[in-house]
Structures are given as C-alpha cells and as structure tokens.
Amino acid sequence: MVIWTLLTLQVIISHMKLVSHDLIAMPYQWEYPYLLSIIPSIFGFMSFPRNNISYLVLSMISAGLFSIAPLIYGTMEMFPMAQQLYRHGKAYRFIFGFSAVAVMYLVLVIAVQVHGWQIYYSKKLLDSWFTSTQEKKKK
C-alpha cells in the first residue's frame, strides 16, 4: 500500500504541477498501469471474510497482470537511462535531488519482492483453504 500510495502521489503531484519538475519527475509510462496494482489487494481482502477461493484466485491472477507485468516493463523501459547513468554519470530526471532512475529501480526491487510474497502467500492460503474445503466435503 505504501509503494502504491507514493506512486499515486507522484502521478498526482506531477500532473497537477504542484511542485517543480526538478523536485518530482514526471512519471514513467509503466507507472500508470502499475496504479491498477491495488486491484489484487482489494480482491485479496474480499476473499477473507468467508474464505472465498474465487476472489483469492482473481487476486493472484491480477497480481501477475497488474503488478508484476508493469514492473517488468518498467525495468526494460528505464534500462537505457540506468545504463547512461552508470556509464556517464548523467541523470536528467530527479526525485528530491536523487536520480529518478536510481530511486525507481530501488522501488522496483522492493515492489517485486512485495508482489512476489503476495503471490507466494496467496498460493499457500489457497492450498490451505482448498484442503479444508475438500475435507469438509468428505465428511
């Protein structure tokens, strides 16, 4: 939720021109579809009250589509800028005085871990719910 909130604020602040573009850079293209990454969390929370397997499956599928896929695209989109920063030490976009590429790669690494854990633990929960459902049917 924190990463999503920060990216949402970046998009809103940059488009409303609340601060200078020197302070907050314009969002990369991958950030717009990544804003849909709130959908898997909503489905996940909707699955909890009655152990609803369908919502949990939708959460896992949408996590791959709306979370992991934009992050992979973002890695590829920013790679030439990261390469230029590494080779020549030149950055053209900044977030609070730091290179936007460096900051966003840090965000990407954290986001991939968080969404990977989300999918992993959703799978564990799905297996547990499915097993308990099968045991109830046998009785």
Element (H, E) at 95: strand 94-95
* Burial (CB count within 10 angstroms: exposed 0-12, middle 13-18, buried 19+), residue 112: middle
Q: What is the pTM of this model?
A: 0.78
Could you list the pLDDT tens digit for every one of the 139 residues in the chain? 888 888 888 889 888 888 877 777 788 888 899 999 999 999 999 999 888 899 999 999 999 999 999 999 999 998 888 888 888 888 877 777 788 888 888 988 998 999 999 999 999 999 998 887 777 777 6
Domain ranges, ordered by start, for the chain: 2-128
